[in-house]
Amino acid sequence: MQLVTVYSTKNCPYCRIAKAFLDSHDVKYAGIDVGEDIEAAKKMIAISGQRGVPVITVGDEVIIGFDSQRLNELFGEVKFGEQYDVLIVGAGPAGLTAGMYCARKMLKTVIISENIGGQALESWTIENYMGYRVVTGEDLIRKFEEQVRSLNIRIDLDGVSDISRDGDGFAIKTITGATYKATCIILAQGNRAKKLGVEGEERYLGRGLSICSTCDGPLYRGKKVVVVGGGNSALQTAVEMSGVASTVSLIVRSSIRADEVYINLLKSKPNITVHMPAEIIALHGDQFLTGITVKDGQGIKQTISMDGIFVEIGWQPNTDMVKELVNLNDRGEVSIDLDCHTNAAGIFAAGDVTSVKSKQIIIAAGEGAKAALEAHDYIMRNKKLK
């Protein structure tokens, strides 16, 4: 067995998922916290060219991020044609709650997702989920996951690449080549982060540009950082990073659209500078990002030297794989009715991937429960007709 090393930070949810994957496949590894060990962080950056976690080395191979496809190729077991009552796409609050309700209805269920927790996993603090005064996204999702794993539900860390009709049910393919069959589908794959749309963005991802501040924030201790966005997530990230970085520049394109509690916290942090209205028009650097050019509302340009950018400009739905299967609205979200039905019989949807207006963890969880109950009714009706 080749030596496996996982470079991680303490609060990185994707690092935890990577370790959980290795544990579940009985892979022994050495774990190194690069948020606490500066020299180890330098070594990780040198071998990977990345200022982001997780980084996993398997012998001489370097794996960037939680690459479920590659890890499955190395350590997983490809599954072919297993039959389920319900296949759930996504393991965020909606998908995990749907799984729990399916289990309570004694439905054979599998959840397929590239990560566990989705967008909620990256929240520094959550203050509006009932039962918790304050909880981190990682801790809340861990509670969700613990409850689901205590039931007879399978969670496969993989990505769904195709869903098609197969007689009275569905055939599903994944990015690792696994196949499944299911009587019905619950779509709960959530959203993915929006991009800046600036030239060179892909080049600097993990090299100074990050979309997960809870993962990569500790690597910028004492450095100058930029946060982009004007919503709750952006202000929360700016406030949290103000306690880690030496300075924080908040770039807001139009206006701040955040809750009053975050606006007040922002005002209390003397090392945060707000640029508003302003937008990033250029990225600068060689191997790593070292600066940006911003343009204000009068068209005046300014170059800001910095060490890293955290992008918090919103999300877009993960619906590319189902756009020919179900109806989408003008925002690319899955259109559903009040009971989580799509236009396609046997396909239900819940959470942030849907047309439901409010994108909140507690709402996503409730919609997941509704979708599961509707899936159960669908299966029971079909059994009676046979």
Q: 68-104, pLDDT tens digit by residue? A: 889 989 998 878 889 999 999 999 999 999 999 999 9
CB of 108 within 8 A of CB of 85? yes
Q: Up-side HSE of residue 17: CA atoms within 13 Å toward CB?
A: 28
pLDDT in tens, 269-325: 999 999 999 999 999 999 999 999 999 999 999 999 999 999 999 999 999 999 999
Cβ atoms 204, 194 nearer than 8 A: no
Radius of gyration of the chain (CA): 22
Those residues whose C-beta lies under 8 Å from the C-beta of residue 311, and which sit 6 or more positions away, are 193, 194, 195, 196, 209, 210, 211, 228, 229
C-alpha distances (whole Å) from 141 to each of 53, 266, 373 are 19, 26, 22
pLDDT of 384 above 80: no
Alpha carbons 138 and 144: distance in angstroms, whole number: 10
Q: Which residue has the tokens 């500790």?
A: 218
pTM of the model: 0.88
SS3 label, residue 304: strand
pLDDT top residue among 12 and 249: 249
* Model confidence band, residue 1 (pLDDT cutoffs 50, 70, 90): low
The answer to whether 231 touches 221, Cβ cutoff 8 Å, is: no
* Residue 315 near residue 332 (C-beta atoms within 8 A): no
CATH of 82-193+315-385, one of 3.50.50.60, 3.30.565.10, 3.40.50.620, 3.10.129.10: 3.50.50.60
Residue type, 225: V
What's the fold here for domain 4-71?
Answer: Glutaredoxin (3.40.30)
For range 240-254, the mean pLDDT: 97
Q: Are 161 and 173 in contact (CB under 8 A)?
A: yes
Cis peptide before 317 (omega within 30 of 0): no
The DSSP symbol for 256 reads: -
Whether 201-311 and 82-193+315-385 are alike in CATH topology: the answer is: yes
Name the DSSP letter for residue 380. Answer: H
CA 302 to chain centre: 32
Residue-wise pLDDT for 264-277, tens only, equals 999 999 999 999 99
The pLDDT of residue 166 = 94
Residues 6+ away with beta carbon under 8 Å from 2: 58, 59
pLDDT at 252: 98
Q: What is the pLDDT of residue 343?
A: 98
CATH class name, domain 201-311: alpha beta
Using the predicted structure, report yes or no on whether residue 197 has a pLDDT greater than 70: yes
Query: What are the tens digits of pLDDT across the range 120-159?
Result: 988 888 989 999 999 999 899 999 999 999 998 999 998 9
Helix (H) or strand (E) holding 377, with range, is: helix 361-385
Q: Please answer whether residues 208 and 307 qualify as being in contact, where contact means their C-beta atoms are separated by less than 8 angstroms.
A: yes
The residues annotated with a catalytic role in the active site are 212, 215-216
Q: What is the DSSP string of 32-72?
A: EETTT-HHHHHHHHHHH--SSS-EEEETTEEEES--HHHHH
Q: Residue 177: exposed, middle, or buried by beta-carbon count in 10 A (0-12, 13-18, 19+)? A: middle
Domain range annotation of the chain:
4-71, 82-193+315-385, 201-311
CA distance 379 to 355: 24
SS3 195: coil
Instruction: Tell me what percent of the residues of the chain surpass a pLDDT of 70.
Output: 99
User: What letter represents residue 189's amino acid?
Assistant: Q
